[in-house]
Amino acid sequence: MVLIYNTLTREKEALKPIKKGVVSLYTCGPTVYNYAHMGNLRTYIFEDVLQRTLVRDGYKVKRAMNITDVGHLTSDADEGEDKLEIGAKREGKSPREVAKFYTKKFLADLAALNVIKPAKILPATKTIPEQIEIIQLLEQKGFTYIGNKAIYFDTAKLSDYGKLSGQKLDEKKAGARGEVIQDPDKRHPADFALWFFLKGHYENHLLHWPSPWGEGFPGWHIECSAISRKLLGQPFDIHTGGVDHIGTHHTNEIAQSEAAYGTSLANYWMHGEFLTVDQNRMGKSVGNFITLADLEKRQVDPLAYRYFVLGAHYRSPLNFTWEAVEGAQRSLKNLRRMIAVLKASKNTGVNNLGAATDLYRKFSEALNDDLNTPRALAVLWKTVKSESIPAKTKLKFLMDFDKVLGLNMKKTPPIVRMPKNITKLVQERELFRRNKQFVQSDSLRKEISGLGYSIDDTPLGPFVYQSSCPRKKNPAN
């Protein structure tokens, strides 16, 4: 049984998919006007762990994601400029060229982080007819009104608008007042644009399509309603995104999809907490963002970042510091070295089947308890260090755990074939070290080092490598 925290009910619930054995999962994709930052990527790692956990539990996962390549304005309250047009101006390209470039970069980032690419991905600009169809339905059912700038969704027509965040419409009004300049034609600050007209501020908007309301372009939220419905049907099982989407984007997706079709949009809503810098949200608009290229410049392996992310529960904020990420890199490196030692070691150890199955069960329980990755990592380390489980069994378990953790544990540093004299010195040194005769063991370390070999002591024994081995090129090795 998989327990997941449902933002909609504010409870941990047992997952009951609509179709037995199959989970339909929708993820809000990136707005492709710039590189993804490590905060965005934290959310995609959480969603990847969700998918991998479900697959490990035997579910077939049908996964879909959009790419926002039009209509996401600088303010979620339908004001400001389209982010894609900002990107286009900045780079002297067309919005489509910008979208193509950053979509490619985003997918490369996912691959580097070992995030499984969602099976179905659709950009907003490829589903304009489907989006128009929903707006037409909403119009027929009386959920819209036309202002000077756009056709709006009339939130007052829905008694349960705001059920996802638990925010009442009045509170939203109070919150929004003064924060952004509102279109005077909007009846309520929470009302949101479904389709913008090529008028006023948007007269020269580069991307536009014909519609029953004239040339224009879609509001941001409608794409996810159209794409999820097209690819997964309605309702589908789980909808995910970052916590910033709860109050506006996901609330509006629910409003328009449910008003148009009279059924719920998704049964479970899961939201990942922010990655922060100095306790402030990392954001493209905040200007404090770090990308995967920045990490690689500092020789941080993308999977070390994945390890760092797994160390926190997805519903807890996580603060980014270089020290913490580099610490994660050291831990991952240690883990890989221990796995290398395990691979090389004889299959000795007390074959305590009880202890082994207990750890295996605990690992599964941690993940099935609302994706508790910190607990799962703790079980992983217990398994590695356990004295009751033979090496082969450990390795089997670790490779299974890696199906979810995605740390590429198979990739271990090479075991060096050591000349006999080095092996002898290493063994002698290990004896001294175990007997706490550190002066002697240090002196042997120096001797070994003089012969071109280095030693890292792991709880499983010494890991020896040639000092000139290429580990510096890839520090996680």
Binding site for Zn ion (CB under 5 A): 28, 224
349: left (phi over 0), alpha (psi -120 to 50) or beta: left
Total count of residues recorded for the chain:
477
User: What's the CA dihedral at 193, 197, 200, 206 to 10 degrees?
Assistant: 110
Nearest approach in angstroms of CB 253 to Zn ion is 6
Q: Identify the residue among 4, 5, 8, 39 touching ligand AMP (CB under 6 A).
A: 39
Q: Identify the residue among 283, 311, 462, 475 touching ligand AMP (CB under 6 A).
A: 283
Site for ligand AMP in 62-81 (CB under 6 A): 68
How many Cβ atoms are within 10 Å of 374's Cβ, its own excluded? 12
Partner whose binding site includes residue 42, from ligand AMP, Zn ion, none (CB under 5 to 8 Å by kind): ligand AMP
43 binds ligand AMP (CB under 6 A): yes
Nearest to Zn ion of 28, 303 (CB atom):
28
Site for ligand AMP in 235-274 (CB under 6 A): 241-242, 244-245, 272, 274
219 binds ligand AMP (CB under 6 A): no
* Closest by Cα among 113, 118, 105 to 33: 105
221 binds ligand AMP (CB under 6 A): no
Q: Cβ contacts of residue 407 below 8 Å, gap of 6+?
A: 114, 303, 306, 307, 310, 332, 335
Beta strands in 55-142 (DSSP E): 60-67, 73-75, 79-82, 120-123
- For residues 105 and 36, the answer to whether their CB atoms sit within 8 Å is yes
Nearest to ligand AMP of 39, 390 (CB atom):
39
The stretches of 233-321 forming alpha helices (DSSP H) are 251-261, 292-297, 302-310
Q: Identify the residue among 15, 23, 25, 42 touching ligand AMP (CB under 6 A).
A: 42
Nearest to Zn ion of 220, 397 (CB atom):
220
Nearest approach in angstroms of CB 37 to ligand AMP is 7
Partner whose binding site includes residue 224, from Zn ion, ligand AMP, none (CB under 5 to 8 Å by kind): Zn ion
Question: Which pairing describes strands 216-218 and 11-14: parallel, antiparallel, or unpaired?
Answer: unpaired
445 binds ligand AMP (CB under 6 A): no
Partner whose binding site includes residue 30, from Zn ion, ligand AMP, none (CB under 5 to 8 Å by kind): ligand AMP
Comparing every residue's Cβ against ligand AMP, the nearest one is 242
327 binds ligand AMP (CB under 6 A): no
How many residues touch ligand AMP (CB under 6 A)?
18
Question: Which pairing describes strands 3-6 and 11-14: parallel, antiparallel, or unpaired?
Answer: antiparallel
Cα 16 to Cα 29: distance, rounded to the nearest angstrom: 25
DSSP states along 330-398: HHHHHHHHHHHHHHHS-S-S---HHHHHHHHHHHHHHHHBT--HHHHHHHHHHHHH-SSS-HHHHHHHH
Distance of alpha carbon 465 from the chain centroid = 34
Q: Identify the residue among 28, 260, 265, 398 touching ligand AMP (CB under 6 A).
A: 28
333 binds ligand AMP (CB under 6 A): no
Helix (H) or strand (E) holding 170: helix 169-176
337 binds ligand AMP (CB under 6 A): no
Nearest approach in angstroms of CB 382 to ligand AMP is 29
Partner whose binding site includes residue 77, from ligand AMP, Zn ion, none (CB under 5 to 8 Å by kind): none
Nearest approach in angstroms of CB 28 to Zn ion is 3
Cα 53 to Cα 271: distance, rounded to the nearest angstrom: 16
For ligand AMP, the binding residues (CB under 6 A) are 28, 30-31, 39-40, 42-43, 68, 241-242, 244-245, 272, 274-275, 281-283
